[in-house]
């Protein structure tokens, strides 16, 4: 979807990297190895985003670290577009709202680190979840978004002891 609107693949990769998970930060050489593109192309796009105020930067030693500017007025709109691009809004709608005892849905794995993947890792926190119905919803969501979904169901007590690194909260029952 976004690749028809944004012709620069480098620009698209940067948008997806920084606007899926706002806590993602990276530097030029790291992006070069992740994207497999030249530093010049990446630097050009980073500078454009920084000049537009969409990215902010900070020096850490001899590295210039970039991250999304969450204070930018368009941050939440771009974040929501990225969620829709990956189909994560559909997953949350299909899973969290229709399963009953779900307390939280978290994104894990590559996507939580801002790296595109063909597999979406979900942590589903709750109790009394109908696993057969969940499988039906997962299959339906996979066909809609054309990606595989891998999931773990944890009770609230199991979630307390689960490592919280590289996760992004997608939905929470308030």
Residue 110 has pLDDT above 70, yes or no: yes
Residue carrying the six token digits 């070069």: 32
Residue 62 banded pLDDT, cuts 50, 70, 90: very high
Q: How many C-beta neighbours within 10 Å does residue 68 have?
A: 25
Residue carrying the six token digits 């339906």: 140
HSE-CB of 165 using CA atoms within 13 angstroms: 1
Q: Specify the pTM.
A: 0.67
Q: Interior CA angle at 17 toward 79 and 75, to 5°? A: 25
- In whole angstroms, what is the distance from residue 159 CA to residue 157 CA? 5
DSSP 3-state helix, strand, coil percentages of the chain (rounded to 5)? 45, 25, 30
Residue 47 has pLDDT above 90, yes or no: yes
- Percentage of the chain beyond pLDDT 90 is 39
Average predicted confidence (pLDDT) for the chain: 86
pLDDT, tens only, 113-135: 878 788 999 999 998 888 888 88
- In whole angstroms, what is the distance from residue 12 CA to residue 133 CA? 35
- Percentage of the chain beyond pLDDT 70 is 95
Residue 68 has pLDDT above 90, yes or no: yes
Nearest Cα residue to 146 out of 112, 171, 110, 119: 119
What is the model's pLDDT at position 99? 77
Q: Interior CA angle at 52 toward 48 and 58, to 5°? A: 80
Q: What does the DSSP 8-state code read for residue 52?
A: T
- In whole angstroms, what is the distance from residue 56 CA to residue 124 CA? 32
What is the model's pLDDT at position 83? 80
């Amino acid at each position: 979807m976004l690749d028809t609107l944004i012709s620069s693949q480098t620009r698209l990769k940067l948008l997806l990297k920084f606007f899926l998970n706002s806590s993602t930060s990276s530097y030029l050489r790291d992006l070069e190895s992740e994207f497999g593109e030249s530093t010049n192309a990446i630097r050009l796009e980073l500078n454009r985003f920084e000049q537009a105020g969409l990215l902010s930067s900070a020096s850490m030693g001899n590295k210039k670290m970039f991250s999304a500017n969450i204070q930018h007025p368009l941050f939440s709109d771009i974040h929501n577009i990225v969620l829709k691009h990956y189909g994560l809004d559909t997953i949350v709608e299909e899973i969290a709202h229709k399963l009953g005892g779900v307390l939280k849905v978290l994104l894990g794995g590559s996507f939580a680190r801002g790296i595109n993947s063909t597999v979406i890792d979900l942590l589903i926190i709750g109790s009394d979840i109908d696993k057969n119905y969940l499988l039906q919803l997962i299959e339906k969501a996979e066909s809609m978004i054309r990606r595989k979904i891998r999931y773990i169901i944890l009770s609230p007590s199991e979630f307390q002891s689960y490592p919280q690194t590289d996760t992004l909260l997608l939905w929470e029952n308030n």
